[in-house]
Chain A
Amino acid sequence: MPPYDDWNKIEEEEDEELQDDSFLESKKDVILFCIDCSESMLELYDDPNYEESVPTCHLYTALEAAMQIEKRKILVGPNDSVGILLFNTTRKAEVNRKQGSEIKKNTFLFQPISALGAPMMQELIQLLDAAREDPNELRTTIPPLTGKRVAISDVITSCNWVLRDGAPKTATKRVFLITNEDNPNPGPGSWQLMTSARTTLIDLAQSGVTIEPFFISTTEKPFDVTKFYSSVLLPSNIGDEDDSDEADPSVLPESISISRIEDLLSQMRFHEVPKRAQFSVPFEFAQGLTIGVKGYGLVTEQKKGAYRYFVDLGDRMEVATARTVYIDEDRQVEVDKSKMLYGMSVGETAATADSDEDDGSGVGTRIVKAGQRPFYTADDIKSFRTLGLEPGIKLLGFKNRDQLRFEDNIKHSQFIYPDEMAYSGSRRTFSALLKTMIKKKKIALVRTLTRRNAQPMFCALLPQEEKADEGGWIDPAGFHLIPLPYADDIRSAPIEKGLRASDKLKDAARAWIDKLSVKNGAYPPDSYPNPALAYHNAQLQASAFREQYDPESFEDLTEPKADMIHKRAGNLMQAWKVALVNDDSADMVSVPPVTGSKRKADVSVDEAEIRSKYETGTLGKLRVDQLKDFLKSKSQPVSGKKADLIERVAEWLDAH
């Protein structure tokens, strides 16, 4: 997951599972924001986010969204590049600006495509701050083109040139087109302009660039795609738009976002990470019945980036590249990877064996007759892992939905979607299977091998219906591929017996649970940004901007809403606590489990006694084992010297 993939190369193939995703992350992503700066984009209106009248405009929102995306990009993909191109503006490039080739008139390259860095971010942030202060700032910095509009084909051609100059050839390249004009080239010659726009778009697509349009629609100025864009835009399949049925010209491209200006950022968020398949494999229903599917990671734990090592070169800090070499320690020679063989550890004890005078080989060597080889090659060990299976998904059969239990989980799921490019007819077959399984409330059991050097796994296929939520997000139709644990992964319950509550007590608990339940709620991932990650990133950004970080400003959204809990259910929780104290179990003494015959004499002292010692300041009179027992019963650590233990006991009693 962390983008610092080349840093983690120490993990060798055998730990392939661990770095599953990193090879995907290593691909560079390039985004060129292409923002309309026409009069209507600059039109001021009151920002609905503020109580008092704070003027803002579409362009401001668009730039701010671009800034937010850059901010995220810099953290999740430090190798990615971003640029900003503005059109319908009269601003001209300064001559000295380093730029490969000239771009079309009335387009302006605000930020050339380059890897993100703090100075670039700060420049944009400063402009936005200035615009906040003075609503006319944007109009002065980026004067709009009045009276006419740039032909969309010119805009696209400029994008193409900018990307050609700035973006590495093999990166995923995308243009985020932001405009509120649904008919940019009306009037005479519009048909011709439409055709040339389309031609330039095909050119763009052929150089591997996808265009992701974000159209702004308002009540006063609704956006109608059919006026211009629907006949211009291509289906989003990169590079092969004229390659197959996927590009069926009768179907509208999948990724057009028409949104209210307030949703612009959240719409962009959906597209922030380029959609990349983690695997593309055949899905075999039965012998001779195979479709193509692609797998995507929709949930993966996002971790903090790993730190890197830097060397001070005087004028700058340079990252040191780490390289892992394998050496024969006795001979101090480096061994090439292709010559490596794999086997069982010879073991450190070999040398200490009292009777191996017949081999003087020292630690870690194994001697055999010439021509023999008690070790495997890299290919051998790969085949042990895969059992010689080829990558693919193999259907084993169907089970009832309720057979997929809560506890049968070991790893995050993946998502599969048909791949018409591999097998034509995949989509309808996939769709038919999905519908049937939803109807019959079934899950499928499959055996998967997602990559050549992965491990075979059994997974449940959980069908998902297409469903839209309020936020404009649509849950896509497809299957979740949920890895099931092997018997080797399952641990038995270590506790088999325990006291149970009376119905009375249960009802008391039920009372406050009722109050604290959200009726139609579910676990809301969106409401819980990872606080540790956010805290880390905020400090990282401050450090890069050379600003002081104020930890007080950080808000952890995952903390339970204690006030609300007490307000709603405080009384009931108290009532339950009273019921618990009055419960018969309160007087029960626990029968310690008999483990072995060597039980010490019972030395335990009860809490009241310890508390009284604490209050009189005579905790020191207790023995270490008594202190430890007490701490253990409170799930506190029992490490350290007696003084530490006393301190910890005191702390606990203090808090309770």
Chain B
Amino acid sequence: MGAIRTVDLPSGPDGEQRTTEMTNLEWSLQFVKLKIQEMIFNGRKTDQCGVILFGSEETSNIINEKNGGYDHVSEYIPISQPNAGTLSKIDALRPSEVSGDPIDALIVGIETQAQYLASKKSWTRKIVMVTDGENSIEVEDWEATVQKMNILTISLTIIGVDFDDEELPFEEENKSTIKRANEEFYHTIISALQNGVCGTCALALRETTRPDMKQTKSTLMGSILRLGDTDSRSDEAIEIIVKTSKCTALTRPKSWKKFSVRQSLGDDEEMDVEEEQKIAFAQLKMRSEYFVDRRDHDEDEDGGIKMEEDESILDEAEKEEKQKVKEEQFEKVEKEQLVRGFKYGTTYAPCPDGQFPRLQTKKGIDICGFFPTKNFRRELSLGEVQYVWADPSSPPQQVALSSIIQAMYEKGVMAIARWVTKDGMDPKMGVLSPVLFDEVDCLLWVQMPFADDIRKYTFASLDNLVSRKGEVITEHAYLPTQEQLDAMENFVDAMDLMEAGDKDEECNRATWYDTLLSYNPAVHRTKQALFHCAVVSDVSTNPLPPPHPELLKYLEPPRRVIKRARDATEECKSTMKIRQVPKKVAKARKDGHVHATDEDEDFLLLDRKQPISPARAQIHITQAPPTSPSKRKAPTINPDDSETEEEDEEEMLLDKPMVPPLDARNSHPLPTPARSLSPQVDPGRAPGRIIGSTYPLADFKKNLAQGDLVTKAVEDLGAVITEIVMRPFSSRRSKELLDCMAALRDTCLKEDEVDAWNAFLVNLQEYCMADMGNAEFWSQVKDIGPPLSPISDEEASRYC
């Protein structure tokens, strides 16, 4: 197991192949640790494990103690519920030079397990053997061992390093004779066992990442289905005892714990100096603190734009000082001093209990009426779905509910119902839909919106365009032509999934995509990552392996469908003539109301002569050129002056010579850890970004004016600035970038994005000060001082 092997790592940020070296032992122990980690993760008291080594220097096992023999087999970790200590013990294992007999180890394992489980007969027994198959095995008498295992119903899994495997597939070249013989022997054992598998380690490692479903048994909650007035007209009113359980329930990714490097190891430090240098990561705890602003509000509401005195760039001493300034104005208050209440606009409405008296309600599901299923509006369904069953212990109730369900089903209606989960709980409205399973009938409930939950936004009609003269327009760039409709129809037909799935026994293709087979990538990838970092000691040299293929299977359309739709797609592309609209440059404002910094705009205009937009030729969607502001200055009233494609195209042609030669260095955006799987190339504005690198400030301002996505705009501008700073020759854009930063800070301050600004600044500093960074730019930032400094809470508060 001491042999060194080369292990493939996920490709690096630039797609380069990366590998690392480790011993076979380290490699195969990853499997052991992942398995143990899963037990730790599930945290069940009934999930226990122990570790027995064979080929260890020392010998310590129960059989040896009693009868001798069984050398070089030792019980390393006694059977118990595993914890983080178990993992670190496993980490301490090193390859040895001695050899131990796997069958000896197996017998020790069976014995140790049997002794531990002497009084726990119902426990499931499993043995997992991890080996490289190079040990010599005493093959006589193995049948007795197998028999014993079958009696005890032990399942055996043999994980072999570089065993041949058809499933993966894998075949080892230059396999040693002894290994070949051993592999064969292992397979013989497995086939003799009632319950055994033998597999190669690489596959086993991959399979640990296979998304597995945690089967959650929903508890049955008691409730009452009612119709009519059960209090005063009980002769007529209906009451059925029902049980409810969840049909869908949102699963969220597991949460991450927060850690940070502990600055010094404190008292233990001296001891450590002699050994290797170590660092400790401490888990962080959350604590809430409350602050109150004692200053009078009107005092300097407007003066807030003025900068705080000297809070230049982060520095430990200054930071402390900042803290002090903050604390002077912001007083920390203890939770005990606080009273609960609500805000009614600017008015305080006391409410010491945290809630007003609740509406009196009575537990149960009240039917309000029925309506035809075809009128059900699917898009109104609000959340998780619930089953409603008749009481499984009461035949009359079952028959009663069944008769209602069947009648509803036959008539094709759903019921409107009001559900109160517990006396005094807030009622919910929803619908009940009848379902007939093979052997039982039930209702499905889904919550529907209250009047308060519906937003009635108005949208312009897609079909009815009316001219200013009040006439209906039938031909317009917004309205698809017959040709376009035909192209779309072909496309929809070609992209049909109804018969695009796998073939069944009768060679009929099933529908592609099934909710029951779609695994949540976020949940499973996060879990994989959590486990990975728990078992490796460094994620940068041993990064997370790629996700299991099961997680990715539905992310792209099936290949044969894409192939089938190729022609239709091309047709659609050519008739629809979609163009990406480049971000417009904000027009210099004529009015004096907005205090926009005019220099910025001027500067931008100058700068535009050297746009840095790369690789236009790669863009599939042709970009229309930025419209020059002068052309649009006078909004035209002429109703016939609707813009047509042709005009755009002409502009395109005219503009073309102005497109600068490609700058090869710029054609790749900076590598980021989160690289896109889907190819979307518009390097000017990276996919998903609303701020481009060509005219960042203009894009930013425009987005703010639109007021749509401020948080996003702030985030993107920050990213773009950092990106440009790190590009070669960015110094010629320094002033523009500094202006961008000023605008960004200003917005962050006013839009409660203070954290975003501060984080951006720290990040920028890191980038600039790194090797190959841009220290020059950072010093420029520092020179400017306060207008680009981190935002203190105190300053921020003036805008709240």
Contact = CB atoms under 8 A, between A and B. Distances in A.
Nearest to A5: B752
Interface string B553-586: 0111110011001000100110011111100100
B285 A290 contact: no
Nearest to B641: A249
B687 A392 contact: yes
Interface stretch (B19-27, B63-71, B397-405): B397-405
A600 interface: no
Central interface residue in B261, B536, B556, B584, by most chain A CB within 10 Å: B261
A532 B480 CA distance: 47
Interface string B739-770: 00000000100111001000100110000000
A26 B755 CA distance: 15
Contacts of A439: 489
Nearest to B522: A455
A74 B345 contact: yes
Given A239-B705, A522-B377, A395 B260 contact: no
Contacts of A45: none
B200 interface: no
Contacts of B168: none
A595 to B, nearest CB: 12
Contacts of A307: 340-342, 351, 354-355
Nearest to A300: B453
B29 interface: no
Nearest to A514: B411
B525 A298 contact: no
Interface in B375-393: 375-385, 387, 389-393
A389 B287 contact: no
Given A304-B355, A345-B257, A417-B459, 7 more contacts: A117-B346, A349-B84, A356-B88, A391-B688, A432-B488, A539-B356, A586-B395
Contacts of A484: 515, 518
Interface string A553-579: 010101111110110001101101100
A260 interface: no
B398 A499 contact: yes
A532 B85 contact: no
Contacts of A593: 392
Contacts of B513: 396-397, 399, 445, 458
A190 interface: no
Contact of A118 (B286, B347, B516, B632): B347
22 contacts: A206-B590, A270-B456, A275-B457, A279-B709, A288-B620, A289-B573, A317-B348, A320-B292, A326-B287, A328-B284, A329-B285, A331-B282, A399-B511, A425-B576, A427-B478, A477-B463, A484-B518, A487-B516, A489-B248, A495-B440, A585-B395, A633-B394
Contacts of A442: 492, 496
Nearest to A1: B453
A391 B368 CA distance: 42
B98 interface: no
A343 interface: yes
Given A242-B632, A290-B578, A397 B413 contact: no
A574 B416 CA distance: 21
Nearest to A364: B283
B394 to A, nearest CB: 6
Contacts of B498: 399-400, 403
Contacts of A121: 345
Nearest to B459: A476
Contacts of A95: none
Interface string B671-682: 011111111100
Central interface residue in B242, B383, B449, B675, by most chain A CB within 10 Å: B449
Contact of A374 (B533, B673, B678, B688): B533
A500 B399 contact: yes
Contacts of B345: 74, 78, 115-118, 120-121, 544
Contacts of B346: 78, 115-117
A208 B707 contact: yes
A580 B441 CA distance: 17
A372 interface: yes
Contacts of A570: 228, 233, 236
Interface stretch (B141-149, B179-187, B425-433, B605-613): B425-433
B553 to A, nearest CB: 11
B773 interface: no
Interface string A105-133: 00000000001111111000000000000
B591 A207 contact: yes
A313 interface: yes
B454 A78 contact: no
Contact of A353 (B37, B83, B452, B461): B83
A319 to B, nearest CB: 7
A644 interface: no
Nearest to A81: B345
B624 interface: yes
Given A346-B84, A518-B370, A530-B453, A277 B458 contact: no
B515 A485 contact: yes
A260 B81 CA distance: 74
B697 interface: no
Central interface residue in B37, B346, B635, by most chain A CB within 10 Å: B346
A333 B220 CA distance: 46
The 4 A-B pairs with the shortest beta carbon distances in the complex, nearest first, are A353-B85, A635-B222, A501-B403, A116-B345
A424 B579 contact: yes
Nearest to B256: A342
A408 interface: yes
A250 B640 contact: yes
Contacts of B680: 282, 284, 290, 390, 392
A168 B304 CA distance: 13
A257 to B, nearest CB: 9
A188 interface: no
A225 B169 CA distance: 75
B303 interface: no
Contact of A26 (B463, B544, B752): B752
B678 A392 contact: yes
Contacts of A452: 688, 712, 715
A398 B461 CA distance: 24
B253 A529 contact: no
Interface in B241-286: 241-243, 245-253, 255-263, 266, 268, 276-286
Interface in B607-628: 620-621, 624
A436 B485 contact: yes
A535 B37 CA distance: 49
Given A366-B281, A379-B674, A487 B639 contact: no
B3 interface: no
A486 B511 contact: no
Contacts of A240: 584, 702, 705-706
B336 to A, nearest CB: 11
B675 A388 contact: yes
Interface string B293-326: 1100000000000000000000000000000000
Contact of B449 (A301, A376, A480): A301
Given A298-B455, A494-B220, A496-B440, A520 B372 contact: yes
B229 A562 contact: yes
Contacts of B452: 302, 529-530, 533
B581 A244 contact: yes
Interface string A315-336: 0111111111111111101010
Interface in B222-236: 222-224, 227-229, 231, 233-236
A265 interface: no
B333 A250 contact: no
B205 interface: no
Contacts of B648: 424
Contacts of A391: 687-688
Interface string A493-535: 1111111111001111110011011111111011111111101
A354 to B, nearest CB: 8
B213 A250 contact: no
Interface string B502-517: 0000000001110111
